[in-house]
Amino acid sequence: MFQPPRGTRDYLPDDQQKKNWVIDQVREVYEAYGFEPLGTPAFENLEMLMIKSGEDIINQIYNFKDKSDRELALRFEHTASTVRVVATHRNLVKPFKRYTIGPTWRYERPSETRFREFWQADVDIFGVEGSIADAEVLSAVVDAFSRLGFEGFTIILNDRRILKSIIQLAGIPEEKSLDAFRAVDKLGKIGREGVIDELRGISPNEETSMKLLDLLGLKGNPSEVLDQAKVMLQNYEAGVKGCKALEELYKFAKAFGFAQYISVDLSLARGLDYYTGPVFEVIAKGYENYGSIAGGGRYDEIVELFGGSPTCATGVSFGVDRVTLILEKKGAFADMALGAKVYVAPVNKKVIEEAIKIAQKLRAENIPTIVDMMGRKLGKQFEFADKKGILKVVVVGERELAEEAVTVRDMKSGEQTKIKLDELVSVLQ
């Protein structure tokens, strides 16, 4: 018997309907913000995917050759493809606000919650220098999560320029700052001692490492943390710029309506190397053990790296499968009516065609309707409707039809009501 390839999974209808519901909500919110969908192929030229991710990525992705020996690879995120589009279509009207919700692939060790095929939902804005764009992508994702039923968040903010200046201030050579970012990024996972260990060879000595970690300790209320950071970094132009960018982001967050969730944490680095300004992570209240459920940041240099005109860019991304799973555990789908709402049950073969006609009328009104196709007895049909979680069964019998009527059975109460055919749609709507 064949199974899905290792590390991948099927979404049977119950699960796929939940995932689709999540995607639909998110899409509606993103479109309300004026983000527009962009479609790019599932695979890209391998060389392109390596531009911003380096050769290491080959160990983590599905790469292959096509029949003409082109080196291709399945996309492992949406950003590179989108940047390619922005770089090559120079006439795109700016700001260019796009969303993408679709599958990505990584060859990682699979677990119960981590799959090799996983859907990512991205919003990005190209062409805006100001922090208003960072605030808008964050606002869109916060609104999307609120629409999904999450109540409250912690949004952790930092700025790469602050981090860079702190690393300088601590005495770590500039050319090692990317390595230092990566070490610092593990603070939450491996703790202070772990990071000091990681910093060996990056930091000149243990004292420098300790100093770095002390400087990174500032976190909490945005105004307070940024006021202190500005004093601390007064001799570092980049760092001060970073502080001002976050202050502006915070100011706009008040207008967008999510400022109450913001916490600044000077140790937040985020793994990816390409961020140039604000970086952010979103944690859902009550679900802190899942870590961040969304993350992103500003990456003003990549479009140029891909051969385009210099173009500012910022965005947020989250994993659709993971969020669906959290919602499932939260019980968010428990009362959700998925699938067909109405079952049309002919009492015998003679009335099947009448039953079909009735089903067709309901379907034309977008009422999800199933009609018996098995010639089953009424009792079996009720059983089937019950298994499918359908609440209303329309029983079609000869006598009732003669009176232009049907019987509607409420599957919860068992109550049966005779309904005139021309009233059926409005009764079931």
Q: Which is nearer to its own copies, 49 or 202 (CB)?
A: 49
Binding residues for its own copies, rule CB under 8 A, total 102
**Using CB under 8 A, which residues numbered 191 to 230 contact its own copies?**
none
| 180 near its own copies (CB under 8 A) | no
CB of 280 to its own copies, least distance (A): 17
Verify cis geometry, omega within 30 degrees of 0, for the bond prior to 95. Answer: yes
Q: Which is nearer to its own copies, 22 or 266 (CB)?
A: 22
Taking CB under 8 A as the rule, which mask of x and - marks residues 284-323 in contact with its own copies? ----------------------xx----------------
Among 52, 78, 84, 160, binds its own copies (CB under 8 A): 84
Nearest-angstrom CA–CA distance, 44 and 56:
17
Question: CB burial class (10 A; 0-12, 13-18, 19+) of residue 425?
Answer: middle
| 398 near its own copies (CB under 8 A) | no
Among 194, 207, 221, 255, binds its own copies (CB under 8 A): 255
Q: Which is nearer to its own copies, 231 or 374 (CB)?
A: 374
Under DSSP, the state recorded for 351 is G
Among 68, 111, 413, 426, binds its own copies (CB under 8 A): 68
What order do you get walking across the sheet with 262-265 strand by strand? 36-37, 96-105, 117-126, 313-319, 294-298, 278-284, 153-159, 262-265, 219-220
**Using CB under 8 A, which residues numbered 104 to 163 contact its own copies?**
105, 107, 117, 125, 127-128, 130, 132-133, 136, 139, 143
Among 56, 93, 399, 414, binds its own copies (CB under 8 A): 93
Nearest-angstrom CA–CA distance, 117 and 5:
10
Closest CA to 85 of 16, 37, 146, 117: 37
Among 256, 287, 290, 333, binds its own copies (CB under 8 A): 256
**Using CB under 8 A, which residues numbered 263 to 282 contact its own copies?**
none
Check: CB of residue 163 under 8 Å from CB of residue 218: no
Output the six-digit token pair for 161: 């320029």
**Using CB under 8 A, which residues numbered 26 to 45 contact its own copies?**
28-29, 31-34, 36-45
Q: Which is nearer to its own copies, 135 or 183 (CB)?
A: 135
Nearest-angstrom CA–CA distance, 165 and 157:
16
- Residue 195 has φ and ψ, to the nearest 5°, of -65, -40
